């Protein structure tokens, strides 16, 4: 199993300055590289404390690349519906070169109504636009002289520069949350799957659907699944809960605030999202810990929780969200150190 770090900032200038936030996550990234962790992941969001400190994960990962040597870099995720594919593919190959071929690309459909409004992109029809951009990017990472005619953009003899550093281009991943259509389609396209538990009871049926569909369409290769979860490790369970719970509750508060427009928003491309905010508002830190959506405890208890999660979800990697609810600084670094020193050794073969 692979282990790494996953970042999704939920800070504001009142709670943490941007400079302080980036100092903290870059320090964690450097430590992760030195400690032999496999990945650093950063997401893309706009105009809200939920993710708004990182409108450009590729820019952040460029900074990580300049300060590390071995750890792989993954977007988790970029939002292709808000980008032209030539721009996105060119930025990807640039970071792939700067990192000497350590980049992997995660895509997500975007699901926050305020972001669609900001970019004047309709939510209805966004699934088709999402797939069109990814298909074009994937072609330009492998081919030269690409031609594409879509309702959203036109490419004529497009050859992005620089060319990818990795022979077949950076590996591609796609995030999915709750739609069976999304899990099935990711498998049909042959991409890796990124998941983040939503705080409800863990359900492995969608991951199994992905694996089954992948095997049917790509029998000569293996499916890939990685999950991102909040993590706090302390010397005792009581200490870990005392550290984690205020930050988990703030994370839920910020996340539900970003989801508020779904109280009234309806979209044919997002059938199950209307009312999502109301569901998230009912959750507490205790719920996240109880259902396995956050891993909190002593090293021994954390190892047990990881084992149970793996038995249920059967993932290839776990990426630890170490910046939730303004958690960070020395406390987040100490938690990560305890994971590396006392938890990871209980999973043979996990060290890079």
Q: Tens digit of pLDDT for each residue in 222-244?
A: 999 999 999 999 999 999 999 99
Q: Return the percentage of the chain with pLDDT > 90, whole number.
A: 89
* pLDDT on residue 351: 64
Which residues, other chains included, contact 246 with Cβ-Cβ below 8 Å and sequence gap of 6+? 285, 325
Q: What is the DSSP string of 110-143?
A: ---HHHHHHHT--STTHHHHHHHHHHHHHHHHH-
Q: What is the pTM of this model?
A: 0.94
User: Which residues, 6 or more positions from 220, have their beta carbon under 8 angstroms from its beta carbon?
Assistant: none
d(C-alpha 95, C-alpha 243), whole Å: 35
List, in order of start, the domains of the chain with CATH numbers: 2-346 (3.20.20.30)
DSSP 3: E
Handedness of CA 282, 283, 285, 287 (dihedral sign): positive
Mean residue pLDDT of the chain comes to 95
Contacts 24+ apart (CB under 8 A), 252-255: 252/199, 252/280, 252/281, 252/283, 252/284, 252/285, 252/288, 254/10, 254/49, 254/50, 254/325, 255/10, 255/50, 255/280
Please give the pLDDT value at position 154: 98
Give the C-alpha separation, 54 to 43, whole Å. 7
For the chain, 352 residues long, give each residue's pLDDT as a single digit of tens.
899 999 999 999 999 999 999 999 999 999 999 999 999 999 999 999 999 999 999 999 999 999 999 999 999 999 999 999 999 999 999 999 999 999 999 999 999 999 999 999 999 999 999 999 999 999 999 999 999 999 999 999 999 999 999 998 999 999 998 788 889 999 999 999 999 987 666 678 999 999 999 999 999 999 999 999 999 999 999 999 999 999 999 999 999 999 999 988 999 888 888 888 888 899 999 999 999 999 999 999 999 999 999 999 999 999 999 999 999 999 999 999 999 999 999 998 766 6
């Amino acid at each position: 199993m692979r282990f790494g770090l996953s970042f999704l900032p939920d800070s504001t200038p009142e709670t943490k300055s941007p400079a302080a936030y980036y100092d903290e996550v870059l320090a964690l990234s450097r430590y992760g590289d030195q400690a032999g962790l496999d990945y650093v992941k950063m997401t893309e969001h706009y105009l809200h404390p939920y993710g708004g400190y990182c409108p450009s994960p590729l820019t952040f990962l460029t900074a990580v690349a300049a300060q590390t040597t071995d750890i792989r870099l993954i977007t988790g995720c970029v939002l292709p519906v808000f980008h032209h594919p030539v721009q996105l593919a060119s930025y990807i190959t640039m970071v792939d070169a700067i990192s000497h071929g350590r980049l992997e690309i995660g895509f997500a459909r975007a699901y926050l109504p305020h972001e669609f409004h900001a970019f004047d992109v309709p939510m209805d029809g966004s699934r088709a636009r999402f797939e069109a951009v990814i298909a074009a990017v994937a072609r330009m990472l492998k081919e030269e002289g690409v031609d594409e005619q879509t309702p959203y953009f036109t490419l004529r003899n497009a050859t992005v520069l620089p060319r990818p550093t990795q022979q077949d281009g950076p590996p591609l991943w796609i995030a999915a949350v709750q739609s069976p259509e999304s899990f099935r389609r990711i498998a049909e396209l042959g991409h890796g799957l990124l998941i983040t538990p939503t705080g409800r009871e863990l359900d492995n049926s969608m991951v199994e659907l992905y694996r089954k569909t992948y095997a049917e369409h790509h029998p000569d290769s293996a499916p890939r699944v990685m999950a991102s979860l909040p993590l706090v490790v302390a010397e005792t369970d009581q200490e870990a809960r005392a550290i984690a719970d205020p930050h988990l509750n703030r994370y839920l508060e910020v996340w539900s605030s970003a989801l508020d427009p779904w109280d009234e928003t309806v979209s044919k491309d997002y059938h199950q999202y209307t009312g999502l905010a109301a569901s998230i508002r009912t959750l507490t830190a205790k719920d996240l810990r109880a259902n396995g959506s956050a891993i909190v405890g002593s090293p021994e208890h954390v190892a047990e929780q990881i084992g149970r999660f793996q038995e249920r979800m059967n993932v290839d990697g776990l990426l630890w969200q170490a910046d939730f609810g303004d958690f960070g600084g020395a406390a987040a670094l100490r938690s990560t150190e305890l994971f590396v020193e006392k938890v990871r050794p209980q999973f043979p073969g996990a060290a890079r």
